[in-house]
Amino acid sequence: MKLLDQVRSLMRARHLAIRTEKAYVRWIYKFLKFHRDSNGHWRHPEEMGSAEINAFLTYLAVERKVAASTQNQALSALLLLFRDILLNDRVDIEAIRAKHPERIPVVLSGQEVANVLREIRLGPCRTIAGLQYGAGLRLLEACRLRVKDVDFGRKQIHIRDGKGGKDRAVPLPDKLRDGLEGQMERTRVLHMADVSKGAGWVWLPFALAEKYPNAGRELGWQYVFPGSRISVDPRQGEGSPGRILGPGRHHIHASTVSKQVKRAMKNVGITKHASCHSFRHSFATHLLEEGKDIRTIQELLGHKDVSTTMIYTHVSSVGATGVTSPLDRLLGGDGSVQEPAESYSLPPILRFGKPRFVWAKSIGEWSCVVREVFLGSRDALHLPAVRGAGMGGIHPDWLGALS
């Protein structure tokens, strides 16, 4: 068996996604081609090792200036080749690694989401975009939705075999109910027409086609958003993790939805670097701003770790961007600049007892905490910092009253 065919067989045995398979095969081919160009002839990977891997990864980072995620994907492909195919465990990675940037997601406002959805042509693409924002689905999760996984009675959508092979349930938005029912009726009519022509089969995962021979033609297994023409499974044959027993329809292609969404965003004047996935980011951010707890949002998004979900606190109005700018406090209603007040009233709690100062650092800036011992109880008062004030940000008039 040829080398790349061995890679494909191993990845299909592990039930890896077809996109992952294509990406890994492409990186292994680029690795072999890189060393062919460097040496003037093809070399088998058995003749190579850590030095050749490090040279290729350094080339990607220095010459090609690829992103960190791209370099990591290439490394994963090469590790699979050397460790799992060639059984070489002596690989030592010392290449120059691209730095992984910390980026925040692009989030649309509620009005921007509404404008984009109205601009998308009525049909499957608008419904899919609505599911991304209304239920937090990934683009491929929405495209791969099957008829049996839409539960109108319980107002739920079941996501099967999502990212990481995990299942989850998400809410079915009421405003999408009519659109989904209409889409499923069109799918039913199309499926009956295909069956009458000898087609109507659909791809089934793993060995379900053998376990349930007729399931591939049942309406429940059909995609809610089928493709426009009958097609075949590109991985059909030995080693495929699924099977289709005859001609049928695959789901709508993700690029079809992406193009319509991108066109709609351009038409409504959105200049943000947004995409279909921005609907999912907006879903999580808007839920967080409504007061939903982070663990619930994590479950709805299907994140393995809550730290992944925490990224939305950086873009929500209840996080770092929810503070009021000092400039806004200086501007009046007509936009004129207002000087800070020069007189400060003394808080009543400071007129009694013998306070003492305790220093504390809170969120990167120093504040003074005044502890008042009064009638045997301890009360704490946090005084705001005042520009030009005395020690700890307390106004000089207050310090005079306390001395």
Active centre residues (catalytic):
138, 163, 277, 280, 303, 312
- The closest alpha carbon to 125, from 106, 110, 141, 142, belongs to 142
> Is 359 in a helix, a strand, or coil?
strand
For residue 182, the one-letter residue type is: G
CA-CA distances (angstroms) from residue 160 to 9, 148, 164, 204?
Answer: 24, 11, 11, 12
- CA–CA gap between residue 403 and residue 39 (Å, rounded): 82
- CA–CA gap between residue 276 and residue 259 (Å, rounded): 9
Query: β-strands 365-374, 242-243: how paired?
Result: unpaired
| Beta-carbon count within 10 A of 65 CB | 9
| Beta-carbon count within 10 A of 270 CB | 20
β-bridge mates for residue 370, sequence order: 357, 381
Angle between helices 68-79 and 50-62 (to 10 degrees): 160
DSSP string, 244-273: --S-B--BPPHHHHHHHHHHHHHHTT--S-
- CA–CA gap between residue 193 and residue 306 (Å, rounded): 46
Q: In Å, how far from its chain's centre is CA 340?
A: 44
Long-range contacts of 399-403 (CB under 8 A, 24+ apart): 401/346, 401/350, 401/351, 402/350, 402/355
- What count of Cα atoms within 13 Å lies in the side-chain half-sphere of residue 23? 14
- CA–CA gap between residue 280 and residue 135 (Å, rounded): 8
